[in-house]
Structure 1
Amino acid sequence: MSRREVAQCHDEVAPGSAEPVPSPGAVEQTTVTSTPASTPALPPKPSRVTATLTAVVTGAVVLAATAGLNISWTELGDVPGRVVEYLRLMFADPNWEKLPRALFETWRSISMAWLGAIGCVVVSIPLGMLAASGMGPAWLRVGLRAIFAVIRAVPEVIIALVLLTVTGLTPFTGALALGIAGIGTQSKWVYEAVESAPTGATEAVRAAGGSTAEIARWAIWPAVAPVLMSFALYRCEINIRTSAVLGLVGAGGIGSMLSNYTNYREWDTVGMLLIVVVVITMVFDLISGSIRRRIMEGARVRDVDGTG
């Protein structure tokens, strides 16, 4: 073999490899055909008929409601000016001479709210637990939920007007009205909290032969107590706002004082009373909200640690 042939063979063998390396011309070029990706289907366009019908029905309802109110459109332009004038009369120079009496009446309203909330919570917790699924017979659950729905349908003012014929114009009437009116909503919150609680402890107590009362005491109550305490504080917040409204129908408290001075057209005193109501309500909301957050945060910590 000549030197030229040996060099040619050496060039065709890669270093460290026993197989010859094909020359560039010997490489077969392959054509890769890519299949285009399938385009995702677009969501269907919303039906214009449905949107048009919704707009037409909404407009018809608004027009019907407006026609039933007998609105004087020519006087609407004067409303902003009147509002500004009454705000000036109330808050330009409030009458602080009656502040001590306003604070006393505010305390009566808070007392009504607390008494109504306590009575509502005491009654709604056992009734709400009995209305929860798996806690009582079906006929009792259905009956209690129907009663709760009826109570929720009646406003507090209507209940107060009915009670006025029995108890008279006293703050106790307002407390009773707040307590009775709150049972419907509070009991609903209770049985919803019970139904959403973990079922492990309930099944364990039931498997051990526990009665319904024992299940409620040892399985359900530890799981839902923080939530129910938070609901109780929230009920008190609602009652404080509502107690001012009940005073307008003669139930006593700051609402009665506000109604009287509004009828007397003593706007400077009305302005002072509104300031007191707003400040007291906001302060109580802040305190109650802070307590409720602490309760719920403590409950979450116990759930994470497994010590609850």
Structure 2
Amino acid sequence: MSVQTTRQLALPPRPRRPLRAVAWAVITLAVVVAFWSIEVNWQRLGDLPSEIARYFGLMFSSPNWEKLPEALWQTWRSLEMAWVGTVLSILLATPLSLLAARGFGPAWLRELLRGLFSLIRAVPEIIIAIVILSVTGLTPFTGALALAVNGIGTLGKWGYEAVEAVPQGPIEAARAAGGGTSEVLRWGVWPQAAPAFWSFWLYRFEINVRSSAVLGLIGVGGIGDMLTSYTQYREWATVGVLLIVVIAATVLVDWASGAIRRRITEGGRARGMA
């Protein structure tokens, strides 16, 4: 018997995974059904590039710069909304994330908090804002509260994952020295997890800046509220100015936040790379 024949006989049979095949078939069927159920108008879809070009011309060929001061003021209000929401979510999510980490809270509380974080993340900010506005009304504070509640879900999950990922050496040393839970968190966990937490907080602020513009669609104030109003009245020259301001503010915040996060996570190397 040849060596090649021996190798062929030695190969194990290919494993059969019927459940995987059924799952892929169901997913494929769901995608096809979802695609056809939306009733795509192919003629309108073909006109989409020309329509986009036309609206771009209406918005940016001659922007209405007289609205720039008001746009800047409303953008500042959106940034305030994002900042307040971020600070509130940090104050609430940080201690909860520590309790949700393995080894620092009872099992029942850990599972309860993790379920709460998942539930909050499943609800968009705009739905949370609609629920809150029945109490607080259409004010920027409503948007800030909605961002804060939604931020608890993301910051809580990122927080307990960061705590569980830190090396165990300092934690064991703090416990061996007789430290309680608070001392272990202060001296064994926080010095190692602090850069990750700062990075998460800054990234959440970036997300809130974008979300604050979307929350303006329901009338809680900010640049999104102004953008909705002028879009409804078809004042495209003003809409163009608003979009320019929104894009510029978002890019500036992303750049500043990214630079700070790199400085925190990479230390002195970030300055040398820059």
How does the TM-score come out when normalised to structure 1?
Answer: 0.80
> Counterpart in 2 of 1:8?
none
Is 1:248 the counterpart of 2:217? The answer is yes
Instruction: State the alpha-carbon separation in 1 of the partners of residues 44 and 102 from structure 2.
Output: 55
**Equivalent residue, structure 1, for 2:125:** 156
RMSD in angstroms over aligned alpha carbons?
2.6
Structure 1 unaligned spans of 5+: 1-34, 302-308
Q: 2:176 pairs with 199, 207, 220, which one?
A: 207
Which runs of structure 2 are paired with 1:217-228 in the superposition (5 Å)? 217-228=186-197
Q: CA deviation at 1:201?
A: 1.2
Please point out which of 137, 147, 163 is paired with 1:168. Answer: 137
In structure 1, what is the Cα distance between the partners aligned to 2:120 and 2:188? Answer: 29
The reply on whether 1:97 has 2:44 as its aligned counterpart is no
- The offset of 1:44, in angstroms, is 7.9
Aligned to 1:238: 207
Structure 1 residue aligned with 2:51: 82
The one-letter amino acid of 2:191's match is P
- How far apart are residue 96 of structure 1 and its match? 0.7
Indicate yes or no: 2:242 matched with 1:295: no
Using the TM superposition, give the Cα deviation of residue 225 of structure 1 relative to its aligned residue in structure 2, in angstroms: 0.6
**CA deviation after TM superposition for structure 1 residue 209, in Å:** 1.9
- Larger Cα-atom Rg: 1
Helix, strand or coil at the partner of 1:93: coil
Q: Aligned partners of 1:264 and 1:283: how far apart in 2?
A: 29
The AA in structure 1 aligned to 2:95 is P
CA distance in 2: counterparts of 1:166 and 1:124, whole angstroms: 23
User: For structure 2, which runs of at least 5 residues remain unmatched after alignment?
Assistant: none
The answer (yes or no) to whether the contact 1:226–1:299 under 8 Å persists in 2 is no
Deviations 1:203-260 (A, max 9, x none): 1111222111111111111110111001100000000010000001111100000000
Structure 1 or 2: larger helix share? 2
Distance 1:42 1:224 in 2: 48
Matching of residue 185 in structure 1 with residue 154 in structure 2? yes
The number of residue pairs the alignment matches comes to: 267
Q: Provide the residue aligned with 1:5 in structure 2.
A: none
SS in 2 for 1:218: helix
Q: Deviations over 1:154-198 (max 9, x none)?
A: 110000001111111111111000000010110100000000001
**3-state SS of the aligned residue for 1:248?**
helix
Deviation, structure 1 residue 130:
0.4
Structure 1 residue matching 2:234: 3-state secondary structure: coil
Deviates more, 1:79-88 or 1:225-234: 79-88
Cα distance, 1:73 vs structure 2: 2.7
Aligned to 2:249: 280
Q: Which amino acid aligns with 2:36?
A: A
Kept in 2, the 8 Å contact 1:132–1:141? The answer is: yes
Equivalences for residues 101-140 of structure 1 within 5 A: 101-140=70-109
TM-score of the pair, normalised by structure 2? 0.89
Fraction of identical pairs, as percent: 56
Corresponding residue for residue 235 of structure 2: 266
Of structures 1 and 2, the one scoring higher in RCO (CA 8 A, sep 6+) is 2
Q: CA deviation at 1:299?
A: 8.6
Structure 1's consecutive aligned runs of 4 or more residues displaced over 3 angstroms after TM superposition are: 35-47, 49-59
**Residues 52-85 of structure 1: CA distance to partner in whole angstroms, max 9, x if unpaired?**
8787655532331123323223322222221111
